[in-house]
Structure 1
Amino acid sequence: MTQALSTAGVSVPAVGEAAPDFELANQFGEPVRLSSFRGQNVVLVFYPFAFSGICTGELCEIRDNLSVFEDLGATVLGISVDSKFSLRAYAEKEGYGFDLLADFWPHGAVAEAYGVFDPESGMARRGSFIIDALGTIRYVVVNPRGQARELSEYRKVLAGLEQA
């Protein structure tokens, strides 16, 4: 279910570790701080770029199943290295009802803190982190380029947290 990973010599935070805190602007330019979500579960979904094929497919699947996350007490935060302006256009075009966060400047700093920044391509890798109500990482997956993540994994992990 979880993968202990090292990507390009950068360590990915492991299950059981405290999630690195951050503050990024959402698609409306509003600041969003991870620690402000204490008391609820958070699903961080790092994706390479707005408007790209696999990313759009994954985020549209989350959009279409957002009630699953909400019913399990989880907030979804999508994160890419795109600007807030690109993310706003992307969210409007696709009808996303969750925040898309701009890890634009310093470029990829949050993705780097989570070990999913690819400096050669300048993008975030396809990584997901489920963080519990106390701010502890409970699930980590980083998929290879071109491979989408499974929505069913999010559901399974979140259902387990709800019962905990």
Structure 2
Amino acid sequence: MTGLSLGGPAPDFTLRDQFGADVSLSSFRGRKAVAILFFPYAFSGICTGEMAGIRDRLAEFMTFDTEVLAISCDPVYSLRAFADADGLNFPLLSDYWPHGAVSSAYDVFDEVKGCPRRSSYVIDREGNVAWAVHNAMPEGRDLDEHLAQLTALV
């Protein structure tokens, strides 16, 4: 990890989801652990597969009083079309404007490509960073490892 430290506070944010509703990380504090999955682009090959994998295993992710938040720099309207096309029924959050501000706060914004890198964070119920992993752009996430990290917080 670069600027964030394990056990330290996760930067709070409020972003709009695919329906235009505000979602704040701090709204889960004291209630749920949160898996934050930054993904580069809606409708791209690996991202589409990853988001479908989360959709297919959403019940496993939600078993532990957890929330899944997926964040990209795509506009809300693109995320809505992406969610509708692939039946994604969890929050897809738009870090479109100010462009990449939340991705930058989590040290995962790629200045050259204008998108977040494929990175994940698990935030505990107290709002602290419990785990992080950063994948190369062409590498999909290990969802089993994500679930194991969430389970460890229970």
Distance 2:6 2:140 in 1: 21
For 1:132 and 1:45, how far apart are their aligned partners in 2?
A: 14
Residue pairs, 1:74-153, within 5 angstroms: 74-153=66-145
Aligned match of 1:31 in 14, 18, 22?
Answer: 22
Q: Output the aligned Cα RMSD.
A: 0.8
Q: Which amino acid aligns with 1:18?
A: P
Tell me the equivalent position of 2:48: 56
1:97: Cα distance to partner? 1.1
Residues 37-48 of structure 1: pairs in structure 2 closer than 5 A? 37-38=28-29, 39-48=31-40
The CA deviation at 1:14 is 2.1
Give the letter aligned to residue 22 of structure 1.
Answer: F
SS of alignment partner, residue 78 of structure 2: helix
Asked whether the 8 Å contact 1:130–1:139 carries over to 2, the reply is yes
Displacement after TM superposition at 1:72 (Å)? 1.5
Structure 1 residues 70-116: Cα deviation after superposition (integer angstroms, max 9, x where no partner):
11211000000000000000001110110000000000000000000
> Residue 15 of structure 1: CA displacement?
1.3
**Percent of matched pairs sharing the same residue:** 47
The DSSP-based 3-state class of the residue aligned with 2:15 is: strand
* Structure 1 stretches lacking a partner, 5+ long: none
Contact 1:14/1:140 (8 A) holds in 2:
no
The answer as to 2:28 corresponding to 1:22 is no
1:158 Cα deviation (Å)? 1.1
TM-score when normalising by structure 1: 0.91
Question: Hey, what's the Cα distance between the residues in 2 that align with 1:40 and 1:61?
Answer: 21
Please, what TM-score do these two structures have when normalized by structure 2?
0.97
Q: In the comparison of the two structures, how many residue pairs are matched?
A: 153
Q: Is 1:130–1:137's contact at 8 Å kept on the other side of the alignment?
A: yes
Q: Distance in 1 between matches of 2:39 and 2:150?
A: 20
